[in-house]
Structure 1
Amino acid sequence: MTALSTPITLPPAPPSLSFGDLILSLGSCFSEHIPSYLQAGGMEALINPFGTQYNPLSIARTLSRILEGKPFEGKELIQHGGLYHSLLHHGAFSRVTSGETLEAINTSLCGAHTQLPRLRYLLLTWGTSYVYRLRETGEVVSNCHKLPERLFIRERVEVPPLLSVWTPLLRELLELQPSLQLILTVSPVRHLRDGAHANTLSKATLHLFTEELQRLFPDNVHYFPAYELVLDELRDYRFYAEDMAHPSTLTQRLVAERFVGWALDEPTQRAFAEAQRITSELRHRPLHASTEAHTQRLERLSARVRDFLSRYPLAKLPSPESHL
């Protein structure tokens, strides 16, 4: 019987990821799925400290700001709809006062900047090559915050302008951390606002851009084919959410499992699976949390956590005591 699938062979893996290695993930909403899965297995990941971003130019601005570590100032905010916003941040950072907004975004910025020396993996997920520029300044924004569309120019950016921004940025980053491993992915989320053909052109631009970065930085830049896994190996609408554009929860998990099998060596994969089971049990919420049986269950889990951490002291697991 013919298998109704196109198996995807993964490319050569980068140096193996281990417990204690910090991962920074930047990019579209799909960039949250893999690192969240890694966190459940005891890995340490910092996910989108400025919120979700979709195009490479916005992601470059974020990475540059994290490298610089310069706090945001009130003049960089805009007020709209009763809230203060940063055009470089997701709306989750917006607050009623400018002071509250600055506190939220600068706390996250400081945390990311402080962690940079520990960074081992940088996971970058491109969502689209279309950008929104503020018409008045030409500045590429990450989020329009429902401002009037007339204030922005929307355009598709080609490979050369993307390379002109990212090449010096990666050189600067790799001068500071020569052993840093960059994992590039293209989001399989379909952006259909302009039609299927325009979405294909946008994704093709991202693939060509990724290939050029691999050519320029062959020892540090790797490609993980999340896009191909969804569009080819899982080519069926069963693997999409109801909007038929976003991958379903099952698809997210399947892709994350393939990533773990690619980026972790076999002994670490076994430990990862054990950590996942412990984390899953810790996250379980019983119907009656005040019973003696629940307390005894948490005590047993606490012993399992201590045993695991005695063998893998750099792993990150939730604390059972927080549920007592």
Structure 2
Amino acid sequence: MQFTTKIPVQKSNFPIDYDSKILLLGSCFAENMGGKFQYFKFQATTNPFGIIFNVVSLEKLIRRTVENITFTENDIFFHNELWHCYEVHSELSNPNKEKFLSNLNSILESTHKQISSLTHCIITLGTSWIYRNIKTNEIVANCHKVPQKEFTKELLSINQTEESLQNIVSLIHAVNPNCKFIFTVSPVRHIKDGFAENTLSKSHLIAAIHSVFNQNFSTSLELTTNQNQKNHNLSPITHHPSPITYFPAYEIMMDELRDYRFYAEDMLHPNQTAIDYIWMGFFENYISESVFGLMNDICSIQKGLQHRPFNPNTESHQKFLKNLKRKMTTIEKKLPFISFEN
């Protein structure tokens, strides 16, 4: 007997392994997924410019990064004793103007270099609701507690969202045509916008993502057909899988985990059990089976590092530490980019 509706997740044609270079962008759920990649020591970077909820702001940052458009004094402002930038999250704000600009441009430079070698870009969209600065008419990524009277609130249309997603893919493919994209919608409910409004927002995101996916799937199918016609079907058929896939994190939360016991205390965010469950759906379908054993070894080490003994000076604990250190050294020699000190 089955007590939940299982969401089918398609196996990735481009599975992630320890050679993969991953960039996660978007909402706070991107942070949850990024935490898992960090725990298992993959080569992954999460939200270098902080949490970004809407796709237009993501597109603007990616365009700035790809085209290497540096931040200047015109892009920042002073409010509540801190320097802010409407394009990035408040966690980057700084009381020192020069340090703030230097840090923004340092992140810009490192992300610019990273994009050229990416294998996977995972984008998690949070909401279709955006805030537009009345003075500049620009959509902002974060209001930085500036009075609401300085903004108008709008709902991005499906077409607007779709256009930004296509632009993101095009921008990154212009410098890195081999990058694969995984789109997903955050399972976090933005109830501050309203219950019906949250549903409308998520539906716009899902419709736009699937439209982009279908367009890229059609292009991949056309490439396969043209190649087969060119070869007069004399050579084996070569399929061109779409570089874009959709991982149904939102659907898993809404259907498989349809119970408030899977929510945090605010009843809006998934709790750790839900995050772990959704990660398992991703892990089973997007991670290469060839690294499952290594991930298990790393998990064992991580648990060992978190262990807090009652009697640390005992011989048995010292033996435990020595064995743990040996395991760490073995993996660090095999994969030099891995360090268990961070």
Using the size of structure 2 for normalisation, the TM-score is 0.87
Displacement of 1:286: 5.5
Displacement of 1:142: 0.7
Tell which deviates more after alignment, 85-94 or 64-73: 64-73
Displacement of 1:134: 0.6
Q: Which residue of 2 aligns with 1:234?
A: 257
CA 1:144–1:294 in structure 2 vs 1: closer, same or farther (change >3 Å)? farther
Matches within 5 A, 1:54-133: 54-133=53-132
CA 1:150–1:316 in structure 2 vs 1: closer, same or farther (change >3 Å)? same
The answer as to 2:190 corresponding to 1:191 is: yes
State the distance in 1 between where 2:336 and 2:77 align. Answer: 41
Structure of greater Rg: 2
Gaps of 5+ in 2: 218-241
Matches within 5 A, 1:232-311: 232-284=255-307, 297-310=320-333
1:107-129 Cα distance to aligned partner (Å, 9 max, x none): 22222112122211100000000
The answer as to 2:248 corresponding to 1:225 is: yes
Displacement of 1:164: 2.8
Name the amino acid aligned to 2:78: Q
Tell which deviates more after alignment, 156-165 or 91-100: 156-165
1:14-37 Cα distance to aligned partner (Å, 9 max, x none): 311110211100000001111211
**Count of matched residue positions in the alignment of Structure 1 and Structure 2:** 318
Do 1:21 and 1:118's aligned partners in 2 also have CA atoms closer than 8 Å?
no
CA 1:248–1:98 in structure 2 vs 1: closer, same or farther (change >3 Å)? same
State the distance in 2 between where 1:68 and 1:214 align. Answer: 25
CA 1:285–1:213 in structure 2 vs 1: closer, same or farther (change >3 Å)? farther
Displacement of 1:5: 0.9
Q: Which residue of 2 aligns with 1:313?
A: 335
1:14-68 Cα distance to aligned partner (Å, 9 max, x none): 3111102111000000011112112211211100001001111111112212212
CA 1:198–1:270 in structure 2 vs 1: closer, same or farther (change >3 Å)? same
Do 1:39 and 1:316's aligned partners in 2 also have CA atoms closer than 8 Å?
no
State the distance in 2 between where 1:96 and 1:288 align. Answer: 45
Tell which deviates more after alignment, 59-68 or 275-284: 275-284
Displacement of 1:100: 2.0
State the distance in 2 between where 1:223 and 1:119 align. Answer: 18
Displacement of 1:294: 6.2
Q: Percent identity?
A: 31
Matches within 5 A, 1:151-170: 151-170=150-169
